[in-house]
Amino acid sequence: MADVPNDAPEHCPGTSSDQAGKSSACQGCPNQNICASGAAKAPDPAIEEIRQKLTSVKHKILVLSGKGGVGKSTFSAHLSHALASDDSKEIALLDVDICGPSIPKIMGLEGEQVHQSGSGWSPVYVEDNLAVMSIGFLLSSPDDAVIWRGPKKNGMIKQFLRDVDWGEVDYLIVDTPPGTSDEHLSIVQYLSGAGIDGAVIITTPQEVSLQDVRKEIRFCKKVKIPVIGVIENMSGFVCPKCKNTSQIFPPTTGGAQRMCEELNLPLLGRVPLDPRIGRSCDEGRSFLTEVPDSPATMLCRLYWVQQCCNTQV
């Protein structure tokens, strides 16, 4: 995969491309001579630096989905909360959704700032054993728009992986944006030395979501990321009063279960819609403790921890 320098022109072919330093986009670029000579094709030294930095991180899990709005950040946040409920484990949550960082809001950390220490950036702690890093901590306001091209986003992800002082960590959960573009390629490239244990894929039941999720699964196969399994989110609405279930997003093509059967992947579970989950996220609280009677809470503890981590990693 081609690597693009931070100061590259808009249509840079990438330093590892055969057209590096030779395409029309390279004209006037300060890196043109280096790229044309082939010297820039050497592996990014940051990969080795990141490998060394993350030797203290035992497991690295990506949360992916080709579709936006399916609940990746909610899942990432509450998987982290569920894992951190074991006081003997150290958990870290990294938000690499550069343009839409929602983790600070969901974790109740809006307004917090990152501090620099002698060993790098210090993450923000929700609990003694749950650390969080997001670009949201670097913005002056939650309403600030991050209007960056790919190279600058790639550089930010590199900095998160190389410069954050995570310390000894059992699980690093990486929340990603939708799609299969810059952020995903960067996280895979920079963790290629440190290793990725696998990815959890999030979808909703309707076909319009499953189409994009299939693309994400193919992306994982192409870049050799093991797929731990699939979570079907918003899988029916459970009324908090009568407990009856209604299908808000009908699985017209069989939902995640049919897709998993076709692709030979584990279905880790179905998370029902519960308005109390949305309220907990808006208030920056864990619904695992706020709404312990929610069917989603029980599924979190049974599937998210046991199947995503204990039995798969």
Q: What is the pLDDT of residues 51-81, one digit of tens each?
A: 999 999 999 999 999 899 999 999 999 999 9
Q: What does the pLDDT read at residue 102? A: 95
Establish whether 69 is an annotated binding residue: yes
Q: What does the pLDDT read at residue 313? A: 42
- Write down how long the chain is: 313
Establish whether 26 is an annotated binding residue: yes
Q: What is the pLDDT of residues 101-155, one digit of tens each?
A: 999 999 999 999 898 877 889 999 999 999 999 999 999 888 999 988 888 998 9
> Taking 50 as the threshold, does the pLDDT of residue 95 lie above it?
yes
Establish whether 108 is an annotated binding residue: no
Establish whether 35 is an annotated binding residue: yes
Q: What does the pLDDT read at residue 311? A: 44
How does residue 296 score in pLDDT terms, banded at 50, 70 and 90?
A: confident
Q: What is the pLDDT of residues 257-269, one digit of tens each?
A: 999 999 999 998 8
d(CA 219, CA 105): 29
Establish whether 215 is an annotated binding residue: no
d(CA 47, CA 237): 44
Establish whether 66 is an annotated binding residue: yes
Establish whether 68 is an annotated binding residue: yes
**184: helix, strand or coil:** helix
CATH of domain 46-310: 3.40.50.300
Establish whether 239 is an annotated binding residue: yes
293: left (phi over 0), alpha (psi -120 to 50) or beta: alpha
DSSP state for residue 89 in the 8-state scheme: -
Q: What does the pLDDT read at residue 312? A: 45
Task: Count CA within 13 A, CB hemisphere, residue 299.
Answer: 17
Q: Which of 91-100, 126-135, 181-190 has the lowest mean pLDDT?
A: 181-190
Residue ranges covered by each domain of the chain: 1-42, 46-310
Q: What percent of the chain has pLDDT over 70?
A: 87
Contact by Cβ (8 Å): 40, 179? no
Q: What is the pLDDT of residues 5-23, one digit of tens each?
A: 555 666 677 666 767 767 7
Hey, what are 184's tokens? 């995903």
